[in-house]
Structure 1
Amino acid sequence: MAKKRFFIALFFTLFIVTGSISYAVVGNADTELERINNELRKLEQQIEREKMETQESEQELKAVNQEIKTTEQELKQVMNKMEKTGKEIEKFEREKENLTLQLEQLSVKLEATQFRINQRREFIDARIRSMYTEGQVSYLNVLLSSNSISDFLGRMDNLVMLVKQDQRIVEQNKSDQDQVGQQKAEIDSKLAQAITLIRNTEQLKSDLKKQENEKSIMISSLSERSEAIADISEEQEETLIRLASQQAKLLKQREEASQSKKAFGTGGNFVWPFDRKYPITSNYGYRTHPITGEKESFHKGIDIGAPGGTSILAAGSGSVIIAQWMSGYGNTVIIDHGKGIWTLYAHIRMNGIKVEKGEQVKQGQKIAEVGSTGNSTGNHLHFEVRENEEAQDPVSYL
């Protein structure tokens, strides 16, 4: 009887202890799930903040690059004006040289004219001195002293010729003086105008040179700013990758805590992300960046050229951990295949993402469509494989 009571007591003791342990386990599991969910919420908020900062950086980078393009166009216009102004200066210099030569030739002509004027003046002065020495004789006395009609007429003709000769000398002197003075004034005016034009164009060229220097300095400063923003964008991309990794780990912990089995892929044996073989247009590794022109820029994946809108297929089964815009990657999908293996699909066209974060996808399932968003020069798929967040050569996984 005592033995029976002992087993009954032992049974109830075990029942109570087992029940307590079960409730403790369940309670711990609930607490762990709550903790993981809280961390996930915080992480998602941080991802959203990083996403907004990344978009702001990209917009700023786009604005800076546009300003660089505008400034380069302005610099080109300034240099074209400088070239045109330089040609005008050369033209005015040639005109100045030509006018200076004309002025020298006119000076020679002026000396010859002045010589003729002096000769005429000497002739007139000689006649005046003769008249003064011999006494003033009127034209009437000369005519009245004629011996005959024919002598009178002869003297009259001589007097008329003498008067006309004197008149021509005076008129020629005045005409020569006026002509030379007019030509000299005209050449002086043109020469002054040419000198003024040369001075003005040289000042314009100096101003344009100053503008050229200012534009060059501005382009240099903007280029440095562009590089700095690009570096920030790259850091933000890496931050998003790191946060996505943390999110993937937390999701896995939540799955384990809730004892929910998820189907993951092979972790490395992937299929081609298209239903046909499109060419690889840029391989994994170092290259010249197609947009920035940076030498020895490391390409973290491969570029596969395909028409816009072409269906992109999941290279392997797994869980979607990113399905959103990611800075230079543009619209991006990242799939976690388990065992630390991810695949990344970038430059997806607008409204081309066909899966959502947290969705389970199967190998060969359509997840997106080819586009050219983000830092892209044309329609293609940028495909990456990452192992423990480090980029690997995708070709070795396909």
Structure 2
Amino acid sequence: MKKFSLIIAVIMVATFIFQPVDGYAKKKTVSDIEHELKVLQQQAKAARVEQEKASSDKKEAEHYKNKTTEYLQTVMMQVDTVKSKLSDISKQLHNTKESLTLAATELDAAEERIASREVMLGSRVRLMYTDGSISYLEVLMSSSSFSDFLVRADSLKMIVDQDQNLLVEHKKDKETVVEKQSELELQYAKAESLYSEMESQKSILSAKEAEKKSLIAMYDEEIQHSDELTEDQEQKLVALASNRSALLQQKNKLVAEETARVKAAKAAAKKRAAAAAKAAAAAKKSSNVTSNAVASFSGSGGPLLMPVGSARISSGFGRRTHPVTGEVGKMHTGVDFAVGQGTSVHSAEAGTVILAEWYSGYGNAVIVDHGGGMWTLYGHLRNGGTNVKVGDRVSKGEKIAESGSTGQSTGPHLHFEVRINGSRVDPMPYL
């Protein structure tokens, strides 16, 4: 929607500016055109500011995306660690449950033994309570002989010892089973607590993982938006430069016509006729030159001069891996000539300078309008190495700048473009 609005706005501006020449001359003055040129200059400045801001926003978003991606990797490692701990604790809980089940079985068995002993001890106690301790003496006194007395004494001793053993084992069984069950219950409670803590950590890390993935998606949208805005502003700058070129041509024509009218008014009648004849001849000559220039631009026989003489081509027209950003499949819109810092750059053909300033990734750049819908662009010029300004009329082969390495550049060279009606084309057939 944003691109569509921009295209509509550009078409409306172009429709307003590119009116028929005769109607324009009648309705507008040089002052009007200069005012519109100032407006276009302000719009171009605003577009460059937006373009630079979009580039800055993209770098910032890429920075934070990289930081967030690194943090996400750390979170994912922590998630894996917690999952491993949860698995270990789950096994521990399973083993503890099995131990508790075994302890419960042992406790049941011990309790059966205890119950059995309690029955036996109860019988003994009841017997002692009924008969009293004298019953042991009666057993001894009723011996038929001394040997029978000794046998009975040994038997009574065994009964007493057995009762004591029953009491000791009874107590020991109870203590052992209760102690083991308490220990296992404590272990199980600790494992459950640790498992709950790990589950809590896992939930926190999962939330962080989702948050970081959401941030990365947001930064991707910001990067895409910045790229779209940069492209929009570049299209706007091209449209504004084209409109400015048209206004400059109309201004020059109005100035020339006004000068001719002033001279004609001051000249004598006789000289006016001669001046008119001379002007007609000059106009015819100029028309022939312009016609020939336009014709030469539309051919394929290489009408343009090499801007830096003989030079090696370090990168041709077409898709490539961007040497600065590393972006694969990036369209290279011109030809790079490998020349040293400060090499003289010449205009490939006569024309009017429509841009001579910093131009986004091109760095310091110059654009020359040759008429007939053809422009040439010279990019990555050195700082302080631009010899022309907007509105200058340059001839073919005239030095306009010096090569450098400004903007998105890996080293000194000249980036040269040919544009036909605003579209970038392969410069090679034109050189």
Above 0.5 in TM-score?
A: yes
Counterpart contact for 1:271–1:364, Cα < 8 Å: no
Instruction: Sort the Cα spacing of 1:172 and 1:313 in 2 relative to 1 into closer, same or farther, 3 A.
Output: farther
Specify the code of the residue in structure 2 equivalent to 1:367. E
Instruction: Sort the Cα spacing of 1:176 and 1:42 in 2 relative to 1 into closer, same or farther, 3 A.
Output: same
Which residue matches 1:239? 236
Instruction: Sort the Cα spacing of 1:156 and 1:136 in 2 relative to 1 into closer, same or farther, 3 A.
Output: closer
Which residue matches 2:38? 41
Comparing 40-49 with 164-173, greater Cα deviation is found at: 164-173
**Aligned residue runs from structure 1 range 58-77, under 5 A:** 58-77=55-74
Instruction: Sort the Cα spacing of 1:95 and 1:127 in 2 relative to 1 into closer, same or farther, 3 A.
Output: same
Structure 1 position 301, deviation (Å)? 0.5
Which residue matches 2:422? 389
Counterpart contact for 1:237–1:326, Cα < 8 Å: no
Which residue matches 1:269? 304
- Paired with 1:273 and 1:137, the residues of 2 have a C-alpha distance of 137
The match for 1:85 among 74, 82, 86 is: 82
- Paired with 1:167 and 1:239, the residues of 2 have a C-alpha distance of 108
Structure 1 position 190, deviation (Å)? 1.9
Q: Does 1:248 align with 2:245?
A: yes
- Paired with 1:153 and 1:305, the residues of 2 have a C-alpha distance of 129
- Paired with 1:218 and 1:90, the residues of 2 have a C-alpha distance of 30
Instruction: Sort the Cα spacing of 1:370 and 1:397 in 2 relative to 1 into closer, same or farther, 3 A.
Output: farther
Instruction: Sort the Cα spacing of 1:173 and 1:220 in 2 relative to 1 into closer, same or farther, 3 A.
Output: same
Structure 1 residues without counterparts, runs of 5 or longer: 1-27
SS of structure 1 residue aligned to 2:312: coil
Which residue matches 2:20? none
- Paired with 1:140 and 1:314, the residues of 2 have a C-alpha distance of 140
Comparing 31-40 with 301-310, greater Cα deviation is found at: 301-310
Root-mean-square deviation (CA, aligned residues, Å) is: 4.6
Structure 1 position 161, deviation (Å)? 6.3
Which residue matches 2:19? none
Structure 1 position 352, deviation (Å)? 4.2
Counterpart contact for 2:321–2:327, Cα < 8 Å: no
Q: Does 1:334 align with 2:366?
A: yes
- Paired with 2:46 and 2:62, the residues of 1 have a C-alpha distance of 24
The match for 1:370 among 405, 411, 427 is: 405
**Aligned residue runs from structure 1 range 279-294, under 5 A:** 279-280=314-315, 283-284=317-318
If the length of structure 2 is used for normalisation, what is the TM-score? 0.65
- Paired with 2:116 and 2:310, the residues of 1 have a C-alpha distance of 109
Which residue matches 1:206? 203
Which residue matches 1:24? none
- Paired with 1:310 and 1:181, the residues of 2 have a C-alpha distance of 95
Structure 1 position 396, deviation (Å)? 2.7
Which residue matches 1:110? 107
- The number of equivalent residue pairs is 358
Instruction: Sort the Cα spacing of 1:320 and 1:85 in 2 relative to 1 into closer, same or farther, 3 A.
Output: farther
Instruction: Sort the Cα spacing of 1:395 and 1:148 in 2 relative to 1 into closer, same or farther, 3 A.
Output: farther
Specify the code of the residue in structure 2 equivalent to 1:395. M
Specify the code of the residue in structure 2 equivalent to 1:175. K
SS of structure 2 residue aligned to 1:354: strand
Counterpart contact for 2:364–2:383, Cα < 8 Å: no
Structure 1 position 133, deviation (Å)? 4.9
Structure 1 position 61, deviation (Å)? 2.9
Which residue matches 2:217? 220
Counterpart contact for 1:371–1:381, Cα < 8 Å: no
Specify the code of the residue in structure 2 equivalent to 1:233. T
Instruction: Sort the Cα spacing of 1:365 and 1:49 in 2 relative to 1 into closer, same or farther, 3 A.
Output: closer
Q: Per-residue displacement from partner, 1:25-46 (whole Å, max 9, x unpaired)?
A: xxx9xx9554444333332222
Counterpart contact for 1:99–1:191, Cα < 8 Å: yes
Q: Per-residue displacement from partner, 1:356-386 (whole Å, max 9, x unpaired)?
A: 633659467653423563xx8x568764321
Specify the code of the residue in structure 2 equivalent to 1:316. A
Specify the code of the residue in structure 2 equivalent to 1:335. I
Q: Does 1:124 align with 2:121?
A: yes
Counterpart contact for 2:89–2:191, Cα < 8 Å: yes
Instruction: Sort the Cα spacing of 1:272 and 1:334 in 2 relative to 1 into closer, same or farther, 3 A.
Output: closer
Counterpart contact for 1:57–1:233, Cα < 8 Å: yes
Comparing 335-344 with 33-42, greater Cα deviation is found at: 33-42
- Paired with 1:83 and 1:305, the residues of 2 have a C-alpha distance of 53
SS of structure 2 residue aligned to 1:370: coil
Q: Does 1:354 align with 2:351?
A: no
Instruction: Sort the Cα spacing of 1:146 and 1:312 in 2 relative to 1 into closer, same or farther, 3 A.
Output: farther
SS of structure 2 residue aligned to 1:197: helix
Structure 1 position 96, deviation (Å)? 1.1
- Paired with 1:308 and 1:118, the residues of 2 have a C-alpha distance of 106
- Paired with 1:137 and 1:310, the residues of 2 have a C-alpha distance of 132
- Paired with 2:68 and 2:59, the residues of 1 have a C-alpha distance of 14
Which residue matches 2:271? none
- Paired with 2:406 and 2:55, the residues of 1 have a C-alpha distance of 18
Structure 1 position 269, deviation (Å)? 1.8
Comparing 284-293 with 191-200, greater Cα deviation is found at: 284-293
- Paired with 2:203 and 2:352, the residues of 1 have a C-alpha distance of 65
Structure 2 residues without counterparts, runs of 5 or longer: 1-24, 260-285, 287-292, 298-302
Structure 1 position 135, deviation (Å)? 3.7
Comparing 210-219 with 184-193, greater Cα deviation is found at: 210-219
Instruction: Sort the Cα spacing of 1:313 and 1:188 in 2 relative to 1 into closer, same or farther, 3 A.
Output: farther
- Paired with 1:201 and 1:159, the residues of 2 have a C-alpha distance of 63
SS of structure 1 residue aligned to 2:242: helix
